[in-house]
Amino acid sequence: MTVVRRALLLSTADRYFTFASNFAVAAAVSRILTPAEIGVSVVGMAILGIALSVREFASSTFIIQREVLTREDVRASSTVMLILTAIIVVALFVATPALARAYGEERLAAYFHIVCVCLFLDLIAIQIVALLRREMAYGRIVAIDLAGAAAGALTTIVLALSGFSYMSFAWAWLATSVVAGVMSLALHPHPWIFRPSFSHWHGVVRFGGYNGGIALLYKVYDTVPYMLFGWILSPQAAAVFSRSLMICQLPNKLILGGAMSVILPAFSGQAREGRSLKEPYLHALEIITALYWPAFLVLAVMAEPVVQIVLGSQWHDVAPLVRVIAIASLFSFSFEVNYPVMIAIGAIRQSFFRALASFPPSAAILIGAILVGGLHAAAWSMLFIIPFQAIVSISFVKHRLGISHADILRALWKSGAAALASAAGPLCLALASGADWRLSFSHAAIGGVAALAGWLVGLKATRHPLLEEAAHVASGLRSNWPFRTFMTPVLEK
C-alpha cells in the first residue's frame, strides 16, 4: 500500500471521528439552545474569523511546502505566528467593549476573553501538527485530533445542558486547546520549535504575505454576512444562515473526510520531485465529483427530512435555503483541490490574485443581497457567486498545469452521468409528494436507497475510476487492519 493511501486512511478515520463528534454536538446543541442563542456564537465566531485570518500571514503551510526545511525555518515560523497572535489578542481586548455594545450582548466580552487564551494555546498544536503533516505522520495527528475533538464535544454538550448558553462554545474551545496542546507535546516532544528566532523570518513573511492576504480576503467574504445578519436583522437570522451552510457542507465533510489534509503534502512531495501534477489533479476532480455531485443533488431534493433529522423541528426555516445552496454547491467541486495544487507548485502569488479576483466581488454581491432581500436573497445569490468563483479558480489552475476544457470535460462526464442516475429516484418521489416536496421520513428512506442504487448503476455503466479506487482502499483496509503503525510516522516505515 502506498504512503499516500496509508496516510489517507488514517487521516480519513481522523476526520470522520471529528465530523461525527461535531455533528453530534451540532444536533444536540441545536435542540438545547435557541436559534437566537446560537446566533450570538455565530456572530462571535464571525468576528474572530476575520481576526484569525491575520495569523495566516505566518501560516503553518509554510512548513509543509518548504522545499528544504531547517530548524531555523520552523523557529522563525513559530516566532512570527506568536507575534501576530499577540497583536490579535490586544486588538480584541481593545475592541471587545464596543463589539458587545454594538450587538447588545454584554457576555460577548467574556466570550472573547476566553478565546484570547485559546489563541495562544492553539499555537502549540498548530506548529507540531504542521511538522507531522510534512512527514505524512498521520498516526500521531489522529491521536491529537481525536483527543481534542472528544474534549470539545463533551464540554460543549455538558455546559449547554448546564445553562451556559453560547458561552459553552468558548469553554469547549479552551478544553480542546489544552488537550490538543498536551497531546502534541507528548507525541512530538521537541521544545526547540518554540524558541524565538528571527534569522529566517523573511522567508516566513514572504510566503505568509500572500497566504495571509488570501485568508483575509476569504474570511471577509465568509464572515461579514453573519455580522450583518446579527446587526441588521437578528442573531437568529445569522444562526439560520449558518445552519443552512452547515447542512450544505455535509457532503464535503462526509465524502472527502481527511483527503484534503493529505493532498497538500502529497502534491508538494510530487512537485519537489519534479513530477507533473496535471494527471493527479484531473484524477482528483474525477473522484471528487463522483461523490460530490450525487450528494448535493440528493440533498437538494431531500432537504426537509435532512434538516429535521440533523437540527430538529425549530429549524424549519433552514430547508428552503438548503435547496438553493445545495444546487449552487455543485460548482464547488474543485475548491478543495485548487489551493493545494497552486501552493505545491509554488504559485502562492497567483493564488493571491485569484482570491483578489473572486472574493471581493463575491462579498459585494452577498452583502447587497442581504441588504435588499435578507436571508432568501442571500441564498439565491449563491447561484451566481459559487459558479463565478469556480470559473476564476479553475482558470488559474488550467493555465499553470496546461489543462484544456476538453481535459476537464473528459474527467467529469462520467461523474455527471452517475449523479443524474442517483438523483432520479428521489426526484420522482419528491414530485409525487406535492409542490412543497415535503417528504416523510419513510419516503426519504426509500429515496436514499433509490439514490444509492442509481449511483452504483451509474458508476458501473460508465466504468468510473472511483470503483478502482474503492477496490484499492478495501484492499488496504484488509492488509493494514488493525493500524499497527498508528503512533509512528509513516515515512519511517
pLDDT tens digits, 146-181: 899 889 999 999 999 998 888 899 999 999 999 999
Closest CA to 230 of 221, 218, 239: 239
492 has a pLDDT exceeding 60: no
Rounded Cα–Cα distance for residues 493 and 490 (Å): 6
The grid coordinates of residue 37 equal 442563542
- Three cell numbers written together for 342: 497552486
> Which residues, other chains included, contact 85 with Cβ-Cβ below 8 Å and sequence gap of 6+?
55, 119, 120, 123
Where does the pLDDT of residue 204 fall: very low under 50, low under 70, confident under 90, or very high at 90 and above?
Answer: low
Percent of the chain past pLDDT 90, that is, above it, reads: 22
The amino acid occupying position 181 is: G
By CB atoms closer than 10 A (0-12, 13-18, 19+), residue 395 is exposed
Query: Sign of torsion, CA 43 233 25 252?
Result: negative
How far, in whole angstroms, is CA 395 from its chain's centroid?
A: 22
The structure's pTM equals 0.69
* Cβ neighbours, 10 Å, residue 177: 23
- pLDDT of 382 > 90? The answer is yes
Q: What is the pLDDT of residue 487?
A: 41
The letter for the amino acid at 114 is I
Tens digit of each residue's pLDDT (9 = 90 or more) over 184-195: 999 888 888 888
SS (H, E, C) 340-388: HHHHHCCCHHHHHHHHHHHHHHHHHHHHHHHHHHHHHHHHHHHHHHHHH
Residue 225 exposure: Cα atoms within 13 Å on the Cβ side: 31
Q: Residue for cell digits 453560547? A: 166
Above 90 in pLDDT, residue 12? no
Q: Please give the pLDDT value at position 151.
A: 92
Name the CA dihedral angle for 435, 437, 443, 448, rounded to a multiple of 10 degrees. Answer: 140
Amino acid at 281: Y
Check pLDDT > 90 for residue 220.
no
**Using 50, 70 and 90 to split pLDDT, how confident is the model at 61?**
low
**So where are the chain's domains?**
3-488
Tens digits of residue pLDDT in 329-374: 999 988 878 877 887 777 777 888 888 899 899 989 999 999 888 8
Digit-coded pLDDT (tens) for 65-79: 666 777 887 888 888
